[in-house]
Structure 1
Amino acid sequence: MSTNENELILLAHGDGGLLTHQLLEKYFLPGFSNELLDELSDASVFSMQEGRLAVSTDSFVVDPIFFPGGNIGKLAVCGTVNDIAVSGARPLYLTASFILEEGLPLGELARIVASMSDTAVKAGVKIIAGDTKVVGRGQADKIFITTTGIGLLPPQVNLGYRRLKPGDKVLVNGSLGNHGLAILLQRETLGLDSKVESDCAPLNLIIEKLLKRFKSIKIMRDLTRGGLATNAKEIAQSARVDIWLDEQSLPVDDSVRGVTELLGLDPLYLANEGKFLIAAAADEAADLLDFMKKDSLGENSRLIGEVRAGSGNVYLKTALGGTRKINMLASAPLPRIC
């Protein structure tokens, strides 16, 4: 069946009747088809290798739902895949729940489903179960998506705050702040001519290779809401160590730097959807950095700091030679970022 761009989501699409079945058969099932989902039972049943599992769930309410570099569907897959990946696990399966607002164009839903399908294939995961509800106009904002991920944790991988020690090095796989700024510029009419795009990407494609090769990786963190600053502070507090960052080593694209300086924003606190922090032993840090730079998801990787003895603080060595204490994001300058 072809999609008429003028067709809209109706409340009847959520009543469990004929239109619900048409919605599933036309949009969701073709987009997410696999041997588990195609059973169409109340629950997908699958076998897992013996070992530890990682499970994560996240809801996505980003506004706008389409933005440079992605959309809410791509974001929903990447966000949960990345949470599983930075735990050290290999993402295998996702479930997806949709809240659709009456009046959502079915053409937009089709684009979102296609993006989710493409991203899941790229990440090597299968969407094996889901649910769809329709609410009245004004009771949601176009579309909300919740995804839950399941991954298998290899027996040799054991990441955690307790492993951090003074002398460990801190790295990041690329430029900071792109996603948060892309959303801001798309949402607000600021009259700025900028081509900033979201960095939204499935990070398991690089993380799995890193974990197989480098045994000294201590912890990883997906740098989403709150950006690098908030996530580094959370790590330092949980591990009871201090983290020292070098401002001159932080990768920030010129386009991002220019706009954030103009708007009075700090890239350290802007959300990312394709960036992660790694802390690893000093003796492997240089090789780790070189390896990351050879991957398309790590071409602009940098060694940005180190772990020191302390009590949960984060400090930034500024370009002018001073020291700035970094705290968590204290407010939400840009809500609905993911």
Structure 2
Amino acid sequence: MNVLDKNLQVASDTETPVASARIRQGKLVSSVITLAHGGGGKAMRDLIDDVFIDAFSNSSLNTLEDQARFQLSDLAQYGDRLAMTTDSYVIDPIFFPGGDIGKLAICGTVNDLAVGGAKPLYLTCAMIIEEGMQVSTLRQIVQSMADTAKAAGVLIVTGDTKVVERGSCDKIFINTAGIGVINKDYQLGVHKAQAHDRILVNGYLGDHGAAILNARGDMHLSSPIESDCAPLHELIAVLLKAAPNTRFIRDATRGGIASVLNEIADASKCGIEILETETPIRNEVKGFCEILGLDPLYLANEGKLVAVVPEAETAAALAAMRAHPLGRDAADIGCVLEDGRAGRVHMQTSFGGKRIVDMLVGEQLPRIC
């Protein structure tokens, strides 16, 4: 039985006769990753045993089959639809204030499931590692993934490792896929926004993008900015319980909230207005953007969501989010317009004027996640 969720059996006893025991006990000797660690032989087995299995150990993973196996009845207890997502992470630098590429990979995949109303359950992990990476660095990333997955209540159940020659990738690239189950009561969709719906966010925007750019050493701020990287599934569950008719939720990653709002306006054939005075952005991030000529509305977030909620459920939604640690600074930043131009997003500025908030053109900050 899965220790993270006693109601969920990962695989049947007939499929996992060594359910919680490690099959092999390989020990990694080298202090750096070599091409042999991706070659399929003993060096690779030792790497998998000593680094990955040791950190991610669970009854489904430990069988070391080419696939993870689940009982459909165990999945069905959570809902009537399966949700699946995948994402790749190529962030530079791989360690940054507030997180690292491993934490980011878990949070990003958990959030991509949760914003659709799904309960995240299982993740995969595939790594492309550059020859010469320190094993200690890899262990740190893997342990960060294990800790974040445990905190999020998900299992890493299968994976893959490849090693490429020096210069063929930048240290490490990670791909994760996730599986979750959606409760039958939730019918979220980007096309469902209606006139008078409110636009909610769960806190300060742009922290991740600013933190990554600052971590690259281009700026030396006296007040360091930390990434907001966090798993949002519990916050989203709280939100949906308080506002069960929520139309749509999306985590505002690359392209920031500006891109999310434009996607809503386009899919729902509606206009959207947000208020600059109500949009939470830290003064440090505003100053950072002013210096570099960036717009904080387009900065990436890794722990912020945008929700479209019926007007009648707005107060309950805000109260519920503000009672959660990841939503204490939640705000109502605008609304869906009754007579707005379809597909158009604009901001009411603090000076009383209006400006168009268009879709991001090109790449504002490359390799941000």
Which category describes the TM-score, using the shorter chain as reference length?
over 0.9
Tell me, yes or no, if the aligned pair for 2:250 and 2:306 is still in contact at 8 Å.
yes
Q: Quote the Cα distance in structure 1 between the aligned partners of 2:256 and 2:43.
A: 41
The answer as to 2:317 corresponding to 1:291 is no
Tell me, yes or no, if the aligned pair for 1:244 and 1:308 is still in contact at 8 Å.
yes
- Look up the SS of the partner of 2:355 in the other structure: strand
Residue 89 of structure 2: which of 32, 35, 60 is its match? Answer: 60
Deviation of 1:163 after TM superposition, in Å, equals: 2.4
2:57 corresponds in structure 1 to 33
1:88 corresponds in structure 2 to 117
Tell me, yes or no, if the aligned pair for 1:96 and 1:146 is still in contact at 8 Å.
yes
- Look up the SS of the partner of 2:289 in the other structure: helix
1:13 corresponds in structure 2 to 37
2:354 corresponds in structure 1 to 323
| TM-score, length of structure 2 as denominator length | 0.89
Q: Aligned ranges for residues 229-248 of structure 1 at < 5 Å?
A: 229-248=258-277
Q: Where do 5+ consecutive residues of structure 2 fail to align? A: 1-25
Tell me, yes or no, if the aligned pair for 2:212 and 2:368 is still in contact at 8 Å.
yes
What code does the residue aligned with 1:333 have? Q
Q: Aligned ranges for residues 271-290 of structure 1 at < 5 Å?
A: 271-290=300-319
Deviation of 1:2 after TM superposition, in Å, equals: 9.0
Q: Quote the Cα distance in structure 1 between the aligned partners of 2:267 and 2:217.
A: 36
- Look up the SS of the partner of 2:191 in the other structure: helix
Q: Aligned ranges for residues 114-133 of structure 1 at < 5 Å?
A: 114-133=143-162
Structure 1 stretches of 4+ with a deviation exceeding 6 A read 1-4
Farther off after superposition, 154-163 or 296-305:
154-163
- CA-to-aligned-CA distance 1:100-157 (integer Å, 9 cap, x gap): 0001111110000010001001111000000000000010110000000000000000
Residue 183 of structure 1: which of 212, 215, 225 is its match? Answer: 212
Q: Quote the Cα distance in structure 2 between the aligned partners of 1:191 and 1:30.
A: 38
Root-mean-square deviation (CA, aligned residues, Å) is 1.4
Q: Where do 5+ consecutive residues of structure 1 fail to align? A: none
What code does the residue aligned with 2:169 have? A
2:298 corresponds in structure 1 to 269
Q: Quote the Cα distance in structure 2 between the aligned partners of 1:151 and 1:287.
A: 26
The answer as to 2:279 corresponding to 1:255 is no
Identify the structure with bigger relative contact order (alpha carbons < 8 Å, sequence gap 6+).
1
- Look up the SS of the partner of 2:169 in the other structure: coil
Tell me, yes or no, if the aligned pair for 1:171 and 1:303 is still in contact at 8 Å.
yes
Tell me, yes or no, if the aligned pair for 1:227 and 1:270 is still in contact at 8 Å.
yes
- Look up the SS of the partner of 1:59 in the other structure: strand
What code does the residue aligned with 1:11 have? L
2:20 corresponds in structure 1 to none
1:44 corresponds in structure 2 to 68
Deviation of 1:180 after TM superposition, in Å, equals: 0.3
Farther off after superposition, 207-216 or 60-69:
207-216
2:368 corresponds in structure 1 to 337
The answer as to 2:332 corresponding to 1:303 is yes
Tell me, yes or no, if the aligned pair for 1:162 and 1:239 is still in contact at 8 Å.
yes
Number of aligned residue pairs: give it.
337
| TM-score, length of structure 1 as denominator length | 0.97
1:217 corresponds in structure 2 to 246
1:98 corresponds in structure 2 to 127
1:108 corresponds in structure 2 to 137
- CA-to-aligned-CA distance 1:19-58 (integer Å, 9 cap, x gap): 1011011110011111111111111110233320110000
Identity %: 48
What code does the residue aligned with 2:342 have? S
- CA-to-aligned-CA distance 1:273-322 (integer Å, 9 cap, x gap): 00000001001101211111110000110000000133111010000000
Deviation of 1:333 after TM superposition, in Å, equals: 2.3
Tell me, yes or no, if the aligned pair for 2:238 and 2:320 is still in contact at 8 Å.
no
- CA-to-aligned-CA distance 1:219-266 (integer Å, 9 cap, x gap): 001100000111111111011111110000000112212222222211
